[in-house]
Structure 1
Amino acid sequence: MSAQSTGATSKKSRNYIFEIHFLRAFACIAVVGVHVTATHYYANEQTWHWFTYFLNQLGRFGTTTFAVISGFLLFYQVKRKGFEMGSFLKSRFSKILMPFLIWSLVYRVLTYHYDNQAAGDLWEELKKILMGESFYHLYFVAIVVQFYFIFPFIQKLFRTKTLMLVFAFIALIISYKFFGFNPGIEGALGEFLASKTFMPIWVFYFAFGGVLAYFWEEIVRFATKRPWQMLALALIISAGAVVEYKVTGQVSNRRLTNLINLPLLCIATIGIYPLLSKWRVINKPLKLIGQYSMGIYLIHPMILYLFANHMPKHYWTVANVPLMFAAVMLIAVLFIRILQFIPLSGFIIPVPKIKKSKRTVQSEFVENKVQKSA
């Protein structure tokens, strides 16, 4: 293999590992920010301060970004290694379904203990789990699980760059059409079809993750060559989000504007990586948050829930919001690290490994030299 070829391969390895963890980190920070400020809102008699409201609304990009990342990881794996049903089912069961079920039970016990929510009959409890209603954040994992049911068929139909663009276009129409969908059906089925857990509302974000996977090298090359332009784009989108909630009022993570904003914001965030990676004090924590993002997503509402039940009221001030955010992140990371010493902890909280191949180590060495010389 030539030096040029080795360098190209090293760059591919580095890009896949670091830019995606970087995007994960920002999605994770946004989601935690939404929930910290929402907890502060309820602790203050459902009153917003302009600062907490700003953070809450700006963080509404986080969950949809996680949907993009979920789609990316699935399609990127197929692109690189093909698809094998047995491996897919085993991987999804151990990394997503088992943690989802375990944490659904954990949160059900917490609400039973603190809120005196009595257990219903078996069907009601099962429906609550399947709908992701055991706690307020688990609905998104239920959406991801729904996408797993159609993914084996989707990946078989759309396996080229052109077909992936076709899938993204079809998915865009579906997500647009199902916005505010009312099936006019009564009962459990009607509730599900009209709920935020209904996956077709989110399918475009998974599809864009597929576009990102199939055009990964081209997108990274384009975005990382223009870091300052990408930073400007991210700031423009953020400013637009502020204008949107100022004009229309409180917005959700399923708003129609995200169909345009999210793809642009994801590409912009990837392009910003070369700027922030020069700062070790920023780069290292973001990589760690990105690596632990799934665990942080599962754990942080429990930490906030315990804070809300045990922390004295006078601590719930606006000035303490940044400290509370930092405390939640730190406790979550420490919890995950301790849990990793327990056998089979991956079934409770999956932590993706950053593989230290020879090529990756060489890439990191070059990256560190660039940082020192900058």
Structure 2
Amino acid sequence: MSVQSSGANKQKNRNYLFEISFLRAFACMAVVGVHVTATHYYANAQTWHWFTYFINQVGRFGTTIFAVLSGFLLFYQVRKRGFDTKKFITSRFSKILLPFLIWSFAYRYMVFHYDGLEFQGLGAELQRLLLGESFYHLYFIAIVVQFYFVFPLLQKIVRSKILMIVFALISLVISYKLFGFNPGVEGALGAFFASKTFMPIWLFYFAFGGVLAYFWEEIVGFATKRPWQMLVLALVVSAGAVVEYRITGQVSNRRLTNLINLPLLCIATIGMYPLLTKLTVIKKPLMVIGQYSMGIYLVHPMTLYLMVEYLPNSVWTVGNIPLLFLAVMVIGVVFIRLLQFIPLSGYVIPVPKIKKARPAQDASAEGRLRSA
């Protein structure tokens, strides 16, 4: 095989970014960890154990990483393929907005059915839908949808590495200034500006995703050559999070320290890819979780809700947390896999397709690990 042919095959293999799927898997597991431990907390007279509190607080990196990934995927596609307005609208509607609407109605129906809530009027229900308040995890999808409204303009302005850095710095200032923002406005609009659903609070994380997209080759080349150093960096960031919540108490996924922690943690996790995927027993589950992460994110709160409804309270012990976590993940994966046999299921839960012909990239990753 010629050098040119080999290079072409390697580029083809990069159509699916396995490091990003790896990062997505960790974000997904972190979010599920937060919600499993929170469910344990409410099922046990609202008391924390040090282990469940640790998982709950450290896991709060997860949602913010998803914001980074959302920005990355949009900017990376524009960088590689350009921007097609019609394709952007149809793709975002079918892959994000439509599943968001379907699951919002599903969760609202579930709450009506089990909690006996009454319909609060069309206006109130529409407001709840738009703010992602149909259930506790859907607010993040509402944030992403808001970013979609500004992205077509952003991608026209941010078309180079320098402009991306400028945009990231401006976004950093905006996200910093809006921490604890109180607009002083009454009514629904003021509540929206002050809520966690207000997208500009999250703007830096979308922007950092753009930085990852425009500097992808440089970041991957640097980080994956230093997997052990990246592992240490991830542990240091995590230890810092432990110190923070021990000092300040419960922390938010929008806390100011995340403006520093998240870029470091994302780069560190990407760099650990060739190290943590050497073993098939680790690699395959992480790749499946990464591929199904959107579906798991949408499904897992319903799984937990039904588990609380039908399982005895004696199940919700600290010792059972790992098993409950595993059960939620497995149920999510199995449900998504079965759903894929149904026509048009991609409009309910979108699942990205993994390209074949992976060997060249695997060899490259293993080579980077051996040289580290």
**TM-score of the aligned structures, taking structure 1 as reference length:** 0.95
> Aligned residue for 2:156?
156
> Aligned residue for 2:361?
363
1:107 and 2:107 aligned: yes
Deviation at 1:370?
Answer: 10
Per-residue CA deviations over 1:171-226 (Å, capped at 9, x if unaligned) read 00010011100000110000000000000000000000000000000000000001
CA distance in 1, matches of 2:175, 2:166: 14
Q: Is contact 2:274–2:368 with CA below 8 Å preserved after alignment?
A: no
> Aligned residue for 2:28?
28
Q: Is contact 2:300–2:329 with CA below 8 Å preserved after alignment?
A: yes
Deviation at 1:6?
Answer: 3.3
CA distance in 2, matches of 1:210, 1:178: 20
CA distance in 1, matches of 2:51, 2:5: 50
Deviation at 1:369?
Answer: 10
Q: Is contact 2:64–2:253 with CA below 8 Å preserved after alignment?
A: yes
CA distance in 2, matches of 1:314, 1:368: 46
Structure 1 residues 221 and 115 mapped into 2: Cα distance closer, same or farther (>3 Å)? same
> Aligned residue for 2:278?
278
Deviation at 1:11?
Answer: 5.8
Deviation at 1:363?
Answer: 3.3
Structure 1 residues 365 and 105 mapped into 2: Cα distance closer, same or farther (>3 Å)? same
> Aligned residue for 1:57?
57
> Aligned residue for 2:194?
194
CA distance in 1, matches of 2:79, 2:323: 42
CA distance in 2, matches of 1:361, 1:273: 15
Structure 1 residues 87 and 8 mapped into 2: Cα distance closer, same or farther (>3 Å)? same
CA distance in 2, matches of 1:151, 1:346: 23
Read off the aligned partner of 1:238 and give its amino acid letter. Answer: S
> Where in structure 2 are the equivalents of 1:172-183 lying within 5 Å?
172-183=172-183
SS at match of 1:202: helix
Deviation at 1:119?
Answer: 1.2
SS at match of 1:136: coil
Deviation at 1:13?
Answer: 3.5
Deviation at 1:366?
Answer: 7.0
> Aligned residue for 2:337?
337
> Aligned residue for 1:47?
47
Read off the aligned partner of 2:231 and give its amino acid letter. Answer: L
> Aligned residue for 2:218?
218
SS at match of 2:29: helix
SS at match of 2:30: helix
> Aligned residue for 1:88?
88
> Aligned residue for 1:133?
133
> Aligned residue for 2:117?
117
SS at match of 2:59: helix
> Aligned residue for 2:147?
147
Let me know the Cα RMSD of the aligned residues: 1.8
Deviation at 1:116?
Answer: 1.1
Per-residue CA deviations over 1:227-285 (Å, capped at 9, x if unaligned) read 01100000000000000000000001000000000000000000000101101100000
Per-residue CA deviations over 1:72-93 (Å, capped at 9, x if unaligned) read 0000000000001000000000
CA distance in 2, matches of 1:190, 1:292: 36
Count of residue pairs brought into register by the alignment: 369
Read off the aligned partner of 1:143 and give its amino acid letter. Answer: I
Deviation at 1:8?
Answer: 7.2
**TM-score of the aligned structures, taking structure 2 as reference length:** 0.96
Moved more, 120-129 or 238-247: 120-129
1:37 and 2:37 aligned: yes
Per-residue CA deviations over 1:77-134 (Å, capped at 9, x if unaligned) read 0000000100000000000000000000000000001111111111111111100000
State, as a whole percentage, how many aligned pairs show the same letter. Answer: 72
Deviation at 1:2?
Answer: 5.2
CA distance in 2, matches of 1:137, 1:158: 30
CA distance in 2, matches of 1:12, 1:30: 31
Q: Is contact 1:15–1:220 with CA below 8 Å preserved after alignment?
A: no
Structure 1 residues 284 and 55 mapped into 2: Cα distance closer, same or farther (>3 Å)? same
Q: Is contact 1:17–1:354 with CA below 8 Å preserved after alignment?
A: no
CA distance in 2, matches of 1:9, 1:173: 42
Per-residue CA deviations over 1:313-350 (Å, capped at 9, x if unaligned) read 11110000000000000000000000001110011000
Unaligned residue ranges in structure 1 (runs of 5+) = none
SS at match of 1:163: helix
SS at match of 2:83: coil
SS at match of 2:237: helix
Read off the aligned partner of 1:162 and give its amino acid letter. Answer: I
Q: Is contact 2:13–2:360 with CA below 8 Å preserved after alignment?
A: no
CA distance in 1, matches of 2:57, 2:295: 23
CA distance in 2, matches of 1:354, 1:159: 28
Q: Is contact 2:13–2:355 with CA below 8 Å preserved after alignment?
A: no
Read off the aligned partner of 1:121 and give its amino acid letter. Answer: G
SS at match of 2:102: helix
CA distance in 2, matches of 1:71, 1:12: 23
